[in-house]
Each structure stands twice: as structure tokens, then as C-alpha cells.
């Protein structure tokens, strides 16, 4: 009696009990047909594992800024396709290794197609924001918008705004300076040591979140310095609220 596909797979995966394995191996020494089936199953499994290993690599690293700049191209959902192939393999079960089965060939073509598709969606290489000016764009009026930057040794947050605009500032445990806007259209531009915010049109309410660990952060409205954080010292042209927040406006009084 020849070996069926289930026993061949169990042999390859070391799932046979010791006396069953001894019996199977004794049969293989006398049966050239079964030996050929086992050798073919080994080759097909090795081929499949090698192809899957090509897909098993660290995923591309994205940042919000990269996603905002990257050209938009519609691609198939490779993750969903891969999941479908895995499900099909599980459903096929022992039919994969059956002699003469067309399933290994079909899966081989699917994996080759998946490999090509996966590598075709790598993100474009972008210059790091920390070493170049980054325009964040101008959203439609009334659309919430914002930007987050690492403050480094020092950072100037410069607002080119109207007299009716306000900025609510507070300290956080985060690692980045965040600036958010609501109520109008604002343009954010990040360069080395400077974050510029321009606004034209209806009044805008800005929120500025500053890390407590930031060494030096300065906030300017036009030419006026309204807020300065140097290490643990804060100097602002407004008194903090009970929640520790500072409300800054272009008309904030001199201190």
C-alpha cells in the first residue's frame, strides 16, 4: 500500500509516532513511487517557505508627514490578499500534497504575484523633516489642522496672525511641540529651529502643546515675544489658569 498525502505531510513535519515513522521509512526504502512523492512534497514545501520568507521582512516605516507628501496611488489590499491565500491553504488541507494536485502550482503563481505586488508599493524616499523646510499645506477654512515637531535644543514658534487670533499654551509630558488650529485656514512651515504659522481670513484659535522637558521654546506673535520657556522657567504675557494654561493674544499686555 502506498503512502497517502496525510502521512507524507506528517512525516515531513515530524508528527508521526516513533513506531509509525519507522514503518513509513522502511516502506520508503522499498517503494520508489512513494519515495518520489515524498521528494516532490519536500521540494514544493521548500519552495513555498522560501517565497514566504521573502515577504517576511520589516514593514516600511511611515510618518504622518511622509503619508501627506507621498503620491496617492490606488493599489490592491495586499494584506487582505495574503490573508485570503493563507485561508485557502488551511481550507485545502491535505489536498495540497496530493500527487497530481494542481493546487501547488496555483499557489506558486499566487505567491509570485503577491511578491511582485508587495514590493511595488514601497514608499518614496523623502528628505527628513529635521534637515529641511517642510510646508504642511493650507487646509480649507474651518478644518482642524496642525503639526508636531521635535523642539531640539531650541525652537521658535512664530505666528504671523491677525490681531483677533488667540493661542492657548500649556505644558505636556510629550516629546514634541504640537500646534493645532481651528476656525480658519492656517499654513505651517517647519525648518531647523523654527516653526512658522501663517493665517489669513477668519479668526483662528490655536493650541500649542510644549514638552516640559524642552530646553528652550519661544512663542512670538509677529515681532512680539509672548511666551518663553527656558528649562523649568516660564515667562508669559498672561497669567496661567488654574489648569496651568496660558491664553495669548496679539494684545497681551507688556510684563
pLDDT per residue as tens digits for the range 10-37:
887 777 777 778 887 888 888 888 888 8
Q: Check residues 95 and 4 and name the one with the higher pLDDT.
A: 4
Across the range 106-131, mean pLDDT stands at 44
Instruction: State whether 136 and 90 are in the same domain.
Output: no
Across the range 96-100, mean pLDDT stands at 50
CB atoms within 10 A of CB 164: 11
Instruction: State whether 226 and 138 are in the same domain.
Output: yes
pLDDT of 253 reads: 62
Alpha carbon distance 164, 159 (integer Å): 12
Instruction: State whether 149 and 235 are in the same domain.
Output: yes
For residue 66, pLDDT over 50 is answered with no
Instruction: State whether 21 and 101 are in the same domain.
Output: yes
Give the domain-ending residue among 92, 119, 146. Answer: 119
Question: Who contacts 157 (Cβ-Cβ below 8 Å, separation ≥6)?
Answer: 177, 179, 195, 197, 208, 217, 218, 219, 220
pLDDT of 89 reads: 52
Across the range 45-73, mean pLDDT stands at 55
Q: How confident is the model at residue 94 (pLDDT cuts 50, 70, 90)?
A: very low
Alpha carbon distance 107, 132 (integer Å): 46
Q: How confident is the model at residue 164 (pLDDT cuts 50, 70, 90)?
A: low
Instruction: State whether 105 and 140 are in the same domain.
Output: no
Give a yes or no: residue 60 inside a domain. yes
Residue 49 corresponds to which cell in the numbers above? Answer: 517557505
Instruction: State whether 115 and 221 are in the same domain.
Output: no
pLDDT of 211 reads: 95
Give a yes or no: residue 182 inside a domain. yes
- For 187, the domain range is 129-249
pLDDT of 229 reads: 95
Instruction: State whether 152 and 85 are in the same domain.
Output: no
Instruction: State whether 104 and 143 are in the same domain.
Output: no
How many domains are contained in the chain?
A: 2
Residue 21 corresponds to which cell in the numbers above? Answer: 515513522
Give a yes or no: residue 201 inside a domain. yes
pLDDT of 215 reads: 95
Q: How confident is the model at residue 219 (pLDDT cuts 50, 70, 90)?
A: very high
Give the domain-ending residue among 90, 119, 148. Answer: 119
C-alpha pair distances (Å), 178 with each of 142, 147, 157, 173: 18, 6, 10, 12
Give the domain-ending residue among 119, 138, 158. Answer: 119
Instruction: State whether 111 and 152 are in the same domain.
Output: no
Instruction: State whether 113 and 140 are in the same domain.
Output: no
Give a yes or no: residue 124 inside a domain. no
Q: How confident is the model at residue 160 (pLDDT cuts 50, 70, 90)?
A: confident
Q: Check residues 102 and 17 and name the one with the higher pLDDT.
A: 17
Give a yes or no: residue 254 inside a domain. no
Give a yes or no: residue 242 inside a domain. yes
Instruction: State whether 138 and 76 are in the same domain.
Output: no
Strand 194-199 and strand 155-160: the pairing is parallel
Across the range 234-254, mean pLDDT stands at 83
Give a yes or no: residue 46 inside a domain. yes
Instruction: State whether 137 and 113 are in the same domain.
Output: no
Residue 44 corresponds to which cell in the numbers above? Answer: 514544493
pLDDT of 234 reads: 94
Give a yes or no: residue 98 inside a domain. yes
Alpha carbon distance 158, 198 (integer Å): 9
pLDDT of 126 reads: 34
Q: Which pTM was predicted?
A: 0.45
What letters, b where the CB count within 10 A reaches 16 and e where it falls short, cover 171-186? beeeeebebbbebbbb
Amino acid at each position: 500500500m502506498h503512502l497517502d498525502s496525510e502521512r507524507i505531510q506528517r512525516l515531513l513535519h515530524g508528527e508521526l509516532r516513533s513506531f509509525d515513522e519507522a514503518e513509513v521509512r522502511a516502506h520508503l526504502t522499498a517503494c520508489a513511487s512513494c519515495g518520489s512523492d515524498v521528494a516532490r512534497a519536500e521540494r514544493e514545501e521548500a519552495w513555498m517557505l522560501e517565497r514566504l520568507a521573502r515577504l517576511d521582512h520589516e514593514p516600511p516605516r511611515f510618518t504622518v508627514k511622509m503619508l501627506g507628501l507621498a503620491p496617492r496611488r490606488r493599489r490592491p489590499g495586499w494584506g487582505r490578499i495574503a490573508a485570503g491565500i493563507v485561508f485557502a491553504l488551511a481550507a485545502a488541507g491535505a489536498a495540497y500534497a496530493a500527487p497530481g494536485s494542481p493546487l501547488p502550482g496555483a499557489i506558486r503563481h499566487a505567491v509570485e504575484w503577491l511578491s511582485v505586488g508587495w514590493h511595488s508599493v514601497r514608499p518614496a524616499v523623502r528628505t527628513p523633516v529635521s534637515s529641511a523646510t517642510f510646508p504642511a499645506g493650507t487646509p480649507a477654512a474651518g478644518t482642524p489642522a496642525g503639526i508636531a515637531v521635535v523642539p531640539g535644543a531650541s525652537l521658535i514658534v512664530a505666528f504671523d496672525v491677525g490681531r483677533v487670533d488667540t493661542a492657548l499654551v500649556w505644558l505636556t509630558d510629550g516629546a514634541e511641540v504640537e500646534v493645532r488650529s481651528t476656525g480658519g485656514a492656517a499654513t505651517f512651515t517647519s525648518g531647523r529651529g523654527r516653526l512658522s504659522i501663517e493665517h489669513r481670513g477668519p479668526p483662528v484659535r490655536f493650541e500649542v502643546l510644549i514638552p516640559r522637558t524642552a530646553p528652550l521654546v519661544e512663542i512670538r506673535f509677529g515681532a512680539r515675544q509672548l511666551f518663553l520657556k527656558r528649562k523649568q522657567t516660564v515667562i508669559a504675557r498672561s497669567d496661567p489658569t488654574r489648569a496651568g494654561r496660558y491664553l495669548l493674544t496679539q494684545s497681551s499686555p507688556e510684563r
